[in-house]
Amino acid sequence: MYAGQGRVEVGTVPDPRVEDPTDAVVRVRRTAVCGTDLHVVAHAAGLPEGFVVGHEFVGEVVDTGPGVHAHRRGDLVVGADFTSCGHCWWCRRGDHWECAERRFFGTGSAFGPPLPGAQAELVRVPHADTVLQPVPDGVPLDVAVFLGDTLATGYAAVQRAAPRPGDTVAVVGGGTVGQLTSLAAQACGAGIVVLVEPVDTRRDLAAAHGAVVATPDDARAVIDRLTDGRGADAVVDAIGGPRGLDAAFALARRRGTVVSVGVHTDTGWTLPVARAFTDELTLAFAIGDLARDAGPLLALVRSGVLAPAVVASETVPLDGVPEAYARMAQRRTLKTLIAT
Ligand SMILES: [Zn+2]
Ligand SMILES: [Zn+2]
C-alpha cells in the first residue's frame, strides 16, 4: 500500500467483498509491479496513505455478485488493468478505455474514480464479466499476469502500427512495454524489429529474443543500413513525453507510422508539422485493452508464439515488495512479479 511520497509498505486492510451485483472478488495468485506503479507512488497524485496499489493480476474467483454470468467460483482469471461496463456504445465498439465506467486499479484518480489495487491477496473487480478473462489450461500464471496491461499495450501498439509482413519496425525504449512490443511485432509478422535503448542489459534482453538492437545515438544509422536509407516503416514510442515522440519521428520513413504507447503527462509538444505533411506521416496513440484483445493474445501465448515471461526479472512474496519497488526504481530490475 501507498505509505507516503515515494514509499510503499505491506499492511492489513479489510477484505474486499462484493458490493455491486456485477462485482467479483478474486484471490490474487500472481501480480506485478509496473512502471506506472513507480510513477504513482513517486508522484502520489491524490493517493491516500494506506491505498492498495497495483493493476496487473491473475487469480482465482472466490465470490461473485448475482449479476456475474461469465465466471464462477474457482475459475482462474486474468484482469484488465481498468474497468469497463461491457455494454455501452464504446464498449460495444471494442473501445473499452472510453467507457464512462472506467476506473483504473490502484492508481488514484488519474483515469477515473479511485479503485483499490491488486498487489494484495484479494481484489474486488467491478463489471467482472467484462474485466476478467478466463485463463485456459496450460497458460502459466507467470505468462497470464502480463496479459492485463503490458502485453496488451505492446499488442495494441503493433495493431495500431499495422505493419505489413516483413516491415521494419523500430521500438524506442526497452522497458517492459518496449520489450513486449518487440515480441508482439515479431509474433504479428513484422520483418526486422529494431529496439532502441541506452541500457546495456535491456538491449541484451531484446537481442536474446529476436530484436536487432541499437543505442539511441546509433539507431538511425542501424535502421538506415537495414532499409537502404529509408527509415523504419513503423516506429513505436514506448518512452512517452516529447523525448519519446521526437526520437520516434527521427526514425520513421516517409509515409511511415509513429505510434506512441509511452505515458504522456505534458500538455503540449511541438509537432514537426512541415515534415509530417511533406512526408505524409501518420501519428497515433494506443492503450492496451484486454477486454478487446483477449482472444488473439491468449491464442498467441498458448501457441508459444508470444512468450512474455522472458522479461520478468524476479518473483517476490508480498513481504518483499517494498524492496522490489526500490530495485525497479534504481533500474536494477526490469519487471517484478509478486507471488501472493
Ligand atoms: Zn502496468
Ligand atoms: Zn462501457
Residue 152: exposure state from Cβ atoms within 10 A (0-12, 13-18, ≥19)? buried
Q: How far is the CA of 3 from the centre of ligand 2 (A)?
A: 33
Nearby residues for ligand 1 (ion, Cβ within 5 Å): 34, 36, 149
Q: Which ligand is nearest to the CA of 55?
A: 1
Q: How far is the CA of 148 from the centre of ligand 1 (A)?
A: 8
CA distance 164 to 265: 31
| H-assigned helices in 24-140 | 35-43, 89-93, 128-131
Q: Which ligand is nearest to the CA of 99?
A: 2
Q: How far is the CA of 91 from the centre of ligand 2 (A)?
A: 4
Q: How far is the CA of 94 from the centre of ligand 2 (A)?
A: 9
* Residue-range domains of the chain with CATH: 24-149+289-339 (3.90.180.10), 154-285 (3.40.50.720)
Q: What is the pTM of this model?
A: 0.97
Q: How far is the CA of 96 from the centre of ligand 2 (A)?
A: 6
Q: Give the β-pairing of 169-172 and 76-79.
A: unpaired
Per-residue pLDDT of the chain in tens (340 residues, 90 and over written 9): 999 989 999 999 999 999 999 999 999 999 999 999 999 999 876 789 999 999 999 999 999 999 999 999 999 999 999 999 999 999 999 999 999 999 999 998 888 999 999 999 999 999 999 999 999 999 999 999 999 999 999 999 999 999 999 999 999 999 999 999 999 999 999 999 999 999 999 999 999 999 999 999 999 999 999 999 999 999 999 999 999 999 999 999 999 999 999 889 899 999 999 999 999 999 999 999 999 999 999 999 999 999 999 999 999 999 999 999 999 999 999 999 999 9
Supply φ then ψ for residue 105, to 5 degrees: -60, 130
How is residue 204 written as a grid cell? Answer: 541484451
